Structure formats: C-alpha cells, structure tokens
Amino acid sequence: MKYSLQALALAVFSMGIAQAQSAVPAAPTPVVIPDLAARANFSWSSKNVARGKERSSDDGLLQSQVTLEYSVPTFRGTSIYASAYSADNFERTYTIGARTDSSAGTYDFGYQHSTATAKATLSGNGFIQALSDQEFYVGLVANKDVTLRPSVYVYHSTELKQTNLVVSGRKDFVGGEVGIPGYDISTKIYAGSINSSASIYQAADNAYLYAGASVDVTRTIGSGAVIGAGAHYAYNTDSQTATKGSTTWYKVFANFRF
C-alpha cells in the first residue's frame, strides 16, 4: 500500500508540475544563465534492480535525481555537470563529471561517491554494496544519427574492487509513425560484465555477465516535461541463489528540464 501511494503521489505531482510548465506565467520570467541547464528526474520502480540483479526483497523503489550542467563557453561542445541521486532510504549518489563532443560521439568521464544504509555481502545478499564507495567512470556515446545510438562505459569502484564494462544501444520512435500519435517510444538494450576481486564484501574473486532491455512509452507536456511508463527485463549469469537468473519490473517516471 505504501508504494502504491508513492506511485500515485508521483503521478499527481508530475502532472501538476507539467501543467504549471505549460501554463502562461503570472510573474515576470526570471533571469536565466544561458549556459546552465537544470534537470530533475523522478521515478517509481516496482523492483530495485541494478547491474542485472534485484537488490532488495522490498517491492518498489522511489528515485529522484537533480542535475546541473554548465556548457563551457570557451570550449565548444564541452560541459561540466554535478548531480545528486536518491533511492528511498537505500542509497545516495553524488556525481561530478565532464562531457566533450568529438567526431566519434560524446566522451563522458567523472567520479561518483555513494552511501548506503546497509552493507551487503555476496554470500549474505547475493550482491555487494559498501556503506561508502568511490567509483570512477569513462564512456563514449555515439552521435544521435547512428543506428541504435550505441554507448560503452567502464566503471571502477575502489572500495568494492569491482570493474563494470557495459555496452548499450538505444532507439527512439515517434508515436505517430507507429499508430499512437501524441506519444513516443524509447527502446534500449544493454549487456555488461562485472569483475570483482576478493575483499571484505566477498571471500574470493567473482565475475558474471548481465543483460537487459526496456520499452518506455513517453508523452511530452509543455516545453520541458516528459512523463512515461515502461516495462523492463534483466538477466545475470551469477550463481548467487538470492539474485541469480532473470527479473522483470515496471516503472513510471517524470523528467523535467529547466
């Protein structure tokens, strides 16, 4: 009941903000820094899944993220960004990074610090998680005109002694072209490889593969709001009883750009 109310509250909250964005403002427009963009993302997932594994037996996960990104005027195609992410009382992640455009696509690199309310070990939970973790990452996202718009990222956690390589592809469809005018469809597939060294979170080295896919139906409201819902699937090859195999879940979300 708790998470059903959270999902309902998210939907009502999202519609309220979206309507406010599309309404004529009653007050003068505030001064805006042209090179600074702000984004806010809110979502509710029926399961807590990350890197191919369901991480919690509790149903539902309310997530929020706020990002500020600044385009550097003296370096065309380069920006720096910072974000704060919250997943209920499960974890918090703070990220700083930079992006720069090239003929191959957009390079993305940065650092993120995560905190969790509970430590998780491989033998006890089927996945590993630190109370405090540091992770570095670098990635390349292909240009939008490339089919499936592939991307590749490498993440390395110093606390968990874990390296994650993930490749993905994304394809968007205009709803009017597939019989649902006014809506859009976003599809994504991904596959990854996790390698972890022995640590206080696991007695021996561990490695597994994972893959997943999602289909989201979205609707744009006003000039900077998108609401949507979708179905997700993930699978991993790890042998941990608590988290092995496949899982499916659904998600509702609202994204805003200011």
Residues 135-189: pLDDT tens digits?
A: 999 999 998 777 788 999 999 999 999 999 999 999 999 988 888 999 999 999 9
- For the cut 70, the answer to whether the pLDDT of residue 11 exceeds it is no
What's the whole-number average pLDDT of the chain? 89
Is there a domain that residue 106 lies in? Answer: yes
| Residue 33, domain member (yes or no) | no
Residue 238 located in a structural domain: yes
> 20 or 123: whose pLDDT is higher?
123
The residue ranking higher by pLDDT, 177 or 81, is: 81
In a domain, 32, yes or no: no
Q: Using only C-alpha atoms, what is the Rg of the chain?
A: 19
Q: Is residue 35 part of a domain?
A: no
Tell me whether residue 31 is in a domain. Answer: no
* CA pair distance 55, 195, nearest whole angstrom: 18
| CA dist., res. 50 & res. 41, Å (int) | 17
In the chain, the number of structural domains is 1
Per-residue confidence band for 91, with pLDDT thresholds at 50, 70 and 90? very high
Determine the structural domain holding residue 73 and report its residue range.
2-26+40-257
Q: Is 178 exposed, middle or buried (0-12, 13-18, 19+ CB in 10 A)?
A: exposed
With respect to residue 228, please indicate whether it lies within any of the assigned structural domains. yes
**Domain for residue 19, yes or no?**
yes
In degrees, rounded to 5, the angle at the alpha carbon of residue 138 between the alpha carbons of residues 200 and 254 is 90
Q: What are phi and psi of 240, to 5 degrees?
A: -70, 125
Domain of residue 187, CATH code: 2.40.160.40
pLDDT above 60: residue 13: no
